[in-house]
Each structure stands twice: as structure tokens, then as C-alpha cells.
Chain A
Amino acid sequence: MASRNRLFLSRVGELQRNFFHDQIEVPGRLIKLAERLTSAIEARAGGDKRHLAKEARRLVNGELLATVQTYGDVVFYKLQLERLGFEDQGAFDKTVRESSPRELRSLIERLVFCTLVAVMRQSGTKAVSKVADAIGIPSTVPRLNNLRYLLTGIAASGIVFSLCILTIAHIFVLLAEPIAVLFSKPLDQSLWPNSLEYVGDELWTMVPPIFVCLVIGVTFLVPREPIQSMTPPPSPSSAIADLVGFFRAGISIFVWCIVASLLIKFAQLFYEYGSFHLPKEALSSKRLLLPVIQSFIPIAVCLFTTWYLASHSDATSRCRLSFVGTLLAIAGTVGFLAVLYDLTFLSEYLRARPQDGPGWEHLLFSVVANALISVSAFVSLVLFFRSRSILQKPAVTLQRQSKSATGNAASSAHDFNQPQYVLRIGNQRRTANTAGRAIRQRGAHGQSGENGYATGTSLDLDLVKGRVNPA
């Protein structure tokens, strides 16, 4: 029992830590950058020992050393050189003279990495581009930081979403009287909530799972930068096939969403049982079914929203729903699930309080409230993503201009911090559908080293040599 607990609980802390490290791209960002710079240097030297030795000497002298002295942690840098056995220039020259091309490549890799770390720990991301400049590989505008992206996204969407919820709550209170008249019930016997407090209690059971699922979905499923694939668009397929493909590609994330939603719903149910004095008739384990049914609502909202955002991030996507189409799809699906949920809820509720039946006004409230909240959540996220696209446009434009100006041969050198996944699929089959590709691309960004490392290497070398090989 104890060992199992330890395994599970220590993993929770590690997962939280790994998530935050991914958001600030530690250590992936520096490793990817080091890999790309090393590849560019090797491509510039062209495998010749003399040129490699010259490049190695450049890394510990001249402009680069001045950059380290200005922006970097010099003590740390010198310590790393000493660890490599380069206490003085003579030792370094001797090592370089006696090394094989392979050893020189390894040496260059280590020197670049140590230099980047020395500068990063002292002056941060912006100063790292100075190292690239000093090496002779001009940098481009740094991408948005993942953590900043996530925090601003949650904050911006959260504010809009909160305003929507507040508005919806007030509208529901105002509607209480007309609804009671419509269903021919006195206001105090109507199951439509008639005060802001009751509306708040109802919304409290609906909003948290939707919010949490959307945060999880957007964090892990939506690409952070527009996909600009150089491959032709895939053969047209139906929107339903694309949706199914998207769901299958992100199934693990959706499972996490289901788990999170279930946990929240069960916690809310148990909290209700633990905090309020409920009659004995209401205490039934059959009510455990309710959170399960209601958990499908956040999953549906999450699926449609992330699919819409992912397919609109991909310029080559042909099968995508329009904004209004997605709104209607969300409202329809959520409405249907809300009917299922509330029918189950009413059968349990009326068993304890048959005098309140038949309760159609609660069914109406459940459908309308769930649909409105889901639509508000979708609109909040889409608003944020549009503003994000506008913010990132200048960087993308810059990269495009840089590409067209320098041409193919030089492209290995100029955009080391640009995502390079687009060429990786050069010789791969193009049968995968759009949304699934978006998830894979998102995964390539999220993982902090492996993919970027592999793609960066092959891209740089291949372009310089004038051919494109599969990575």
C-alpha cells in the first residue's frame, strides 16, 4: 500500500514539475538551439578538419568570448573550459591539433552548449541570440514563451468567460417569473432557480469541469503557432472523418479530460452530501450515475472547441466547420446530453420530492444553461486565439521575408529558433488527416528536446547540401 502510494504521489509532483518545465522549455529550448547552431557550424565547415579546427578556435576567442564576457556568467564559463581540460590557450590548441574531425565535432557541440548555458543563466533568452550573432548565424525574433502563452490565454479567456457567466446568471434570475407563469407554478415551487444564489449553485456544478477540460485540451491539443506545411493539402475528407481522426489522435488527452471531469463532479456530489443535511430518500448510490452522464458535456465542448482551433491553425485544412457551425454543433450536442442528464436527475429527485413534479422547468433550465455556458466558453477561447494570431503575425512575416531574401542554401543558418517540423514530412505519406497532423505538430512543440533535436539536424545538413532527406 505504502509503496503504491509513494509511486503515485511522487509522480504527481513530478508531473507538475515536468509540466512547468515544458512551459518554460527547460532544458529543451537551449538544447534545440545548441543542436541547430552546431549543425550550422558543421555545415559551414563542411567536414574538413582544418575548417572544423578553425570553427572550434572561433568559439573560444574573439567576438564570441567578448559576448560571453558581456552577457554571460564568466566564472561558470571558465569552469566549464577547465573541466574540458583547457586551462590555457596552449592546451586548447594542442587538443584541437590532435583531434580527429569526429572529436572536433563533439568539442564544438560542447563548447556551443556551454556558451549558451553561460549566457542564459546570466542574462536570459534575449541575450542568447547575441551568441548566435557572434557565431555568425543571425537570429530571428524569439517565439512567445510557453508559460506566458498559457497564462495570458487562461487570463484573457477567463475574464471573458466570467463576464459571460455573470450575464447568464442575471438573465436566468430575470427569467424565473415568466418561466413559473409558463409552467403554471407558483414562483417558490418552481424548480427554475429564482435567486442569484440558487443560480450560482447550479452553475457551480456546470462551469468548473468545462473550464478545466478546456484548459487541458487547449494546452495539449491546439498548436501554438499556425501550421504552414510545405506539402500539398491532403485529399478531401468529410468533416466527421476529420473529427474522428482528431479524437483518435488526441485520445489520451481526452481520457485525462474525462478523468478530471469525473473527479470534479464526484467531489461536488460528495461535498453536497457532506455539507448539507439531505433527506434519507435523497441518499442513494444510484446518484453516482449523474456525474458520469454530466461528464460527457465538458468532453463534448472540449472536443469541438479544440478541433475548431486546431483545424483553423492549419492553413492546408479543407474540412473545417465554420464558427457558426461549431457553435451550433456544440449547442446541439450539449443540449442533447443535458436532456439525458436532467431526465436521470429528475427521476432521482422526484423520488425524494414527488410534490415538485414533473419538473420540466428544470429540464429547460438544464438544457439552456449548459448550452449557453458551453457556447460562452467556446467564444471566449476563440476570441483569445484571434488576438494571439494578430500578436504573432509580425514574427511569422519576418521569418518569411528572411527566407525569401536568403534563398535555399543559406536557410540553414538564419532561422535556428524557428520551428522546423514542416520539412520533416517531406517524403512521408500524406494520408493522415489534417487534425491529426495538427496534434502531432503540437506534440513536437510540447516535447522539449527529442523531436526538435532530430528535425533540426537533418534539415540543416540537407538543405546546405541541396537535398531534402526524410529525418
Chain B
Amino acid sequence: MWTTLQDQAFLLGAALIMLVHATKFDELNLGNPVTGRYLALLPGAKVRDFVGPYAYHIALFSFLVVSFVSYYLCCQISPNILNGATKLLGIADADKTFQDVPYPLYIAALFIGLTQPVIPLARR
């Protein structure tokens, strides 16, 4: 556990996820036509406008905690899960398949979306 938390790739990935998710949390869902009618009355409205300060910060904190824990769990167990899957499917040298892969960064890229335009390598 402590090893994962000290891993630079993990920390970088966590920071990216926190930033992207904090921004995402503040966006309103404009897909609903009924609420959209009211939201059109307040152009530029954000989540912060529709909830009290206390509830907003609690919800944002909980949201980020869920994101972080999910990311941590994926980083913690996913190499072993994939190793198990490769073993089960009979791939030779399964143990070496994921040895030198910066796994946390791949997981972070998955969390924030592979084709995020802000990430130069993930544009396509």
C-alpha cells in the first residue's frame, strides 16, 4: 500500500485525476431538457450556485475521495488481475507481461479519457 502511494507515476496520475474530476464536478448536466430550460435563465451557472457552501464542499470532497479510492484500487490490484487473466488464458510468460509498464499512468489516462484533447499523446 505504502509503496503504491510513494510511486511517482501514481502521484502524478492522482493529481491529474483530481484536477479533471474537480472540474467535471462543477459542470452542470445540461442534457436534461426540463432543468435545461431553467438553467438557460442563468447562463454560466455552476453547481456552486445551486447548493449551500457546506453541502457543496462535503459533496466535492466525497466525489474526489471516491475517484481517488477507485484509482488507488485499480492501481493496486489491476496488474495482478491482468496477470491472472493471462495465466488463465494460457499466455506464456504471463508474469513478465506487465513488469515494466507504468501502470498508474495508464489507469489515470483511462480515468480521464484516452482522447482528452488536453493530453497531446491522447488526442487520437
Tell me the smallest distance from the CB of B78 to a CB of chain A, in Å.
9
Which residues of B sit under 8 angstroms from A2, Cβ to Cβ? 114-115, 124
Contact of A453 among B27, B34, B54, B115 (CB under 8 A): B34
Contacts known (A24-B56, A26-B28, A114-B41); A17 close to B63, Cβ less than 8 A = yes
The answer to whether the Cβ of B55 comes within 8 Å of any Cβ in the partner chain is yes
Q: How many residues of chain B have a CB within 8 Å of chain A?
A: 50
| Interface bin, chain A | 35 or more
The answer to whether the Cβ of B51 comes within 8 Å of any Cβ in the partner chain is yes
Q: Are A3 and B42 in contact (CB under 8 A)?
A: no
How does the 8 Å CB contact mask read for B50-64 relative to A, with 1 for contact and 0 for none?
111111101100110
The answer to whether the Cβ of B84 comes within 8 Å of any Cβ in the partner chain is yes
Which residues of A sit under 8 angstroms from B81, Cβ to Cβ? 267, 270-271, 274
Main secondary structure of the interface of A (DSSP, over half): helix
The answer to whether the Cβ of A124 comes within 8 Å of any Cβ in the partner chain is yes
CB nearest neighbor in B for A20: B63
Q: Are B84 and A270 in contact (CB under 8 A)?
A: yes
Which residues of A sit under 8 angstroms from B53, Cβ to Cβ? 124
Stretch from A5-13, A254-262, A358-366 forming part of the interface with B: A5-13
Number of interchain pairs (Cβ within 8 Å): 153
Q: Are B77 and A271 in contact (CB under 8 A)?
A: yes
The answer to whether the Cβ of B66 comes within 8 Å of any Cβ in the partner chain is yes
Tell me the smallest distance from the CB of B28 to a CB of chain A, in Å.
6
Stretch from A27-35, A57-65, A386-394 forming part of the interface with B: A27-35
Contacts known (A121-B49, A147-B55); A272 close to B35, Cβ less than 8 A = no
The answer to whether the Cβ of B96 comes within 8 Å of any Cβ in the partner chain is no
Q: Are A271 and B80 in contact (CB under 8 A)?
A: yes
The answer to whether the Cβ of A306 comes within 8 Å of any Cβ in the partner chain is no
The answer to whether the Cβ of B2 comes within 8 Å of any Cβ in the partner chain is no
In Å, the complex CA distance between A367 and B54 comes to 46
In Å, the complex CA distance between A285 and B87 comes to 10
Tell me the smallest distance from the CB of B57 to a CB of chain A, in Å.
11
Q: Are B82 and A270 in contact (CB under 8 A)?
A: yes
Q: Are A28 and B87 in contact (CB under 8 A)?
A: no
Q: List 19 A-B contacts (CB under 8 A).
A: A13-B24, A14-B29, A20-B63, A24-B56, A26-B28, A27-B28, A29-B51, A31-B38, A120-B49, A120-B51, A120-B52, A123-B52, A124-B51, A147-B59, A151-B62, A273-B87, A283-B90, A448-B32, A448-B35
Using a CB–CB cutoff of 8 Å, the interface residues on chain B facing chain A are 20-21, 24-25, 27-29, 32, 34-35, 38-39, 41-42, 45, 47-56, 58-59, 62-63, 66-67, 77, 79-85, 87-90, 110-115, 124
Additional 20 contacts, C-beta under 8 A, given A31-B34, A121-B49, A274-B84: A2-B114, A3-B115, A5-B110, A5-B115, A9-B111, A13-B111, A17-B25, A26-B47, A26-B50, A28-B35, A31-B35, A114-B41, A123-B52, A125-B51, A126-B52, A270-B81, A270-B88, A274-B79, A448-B35, A449-B35
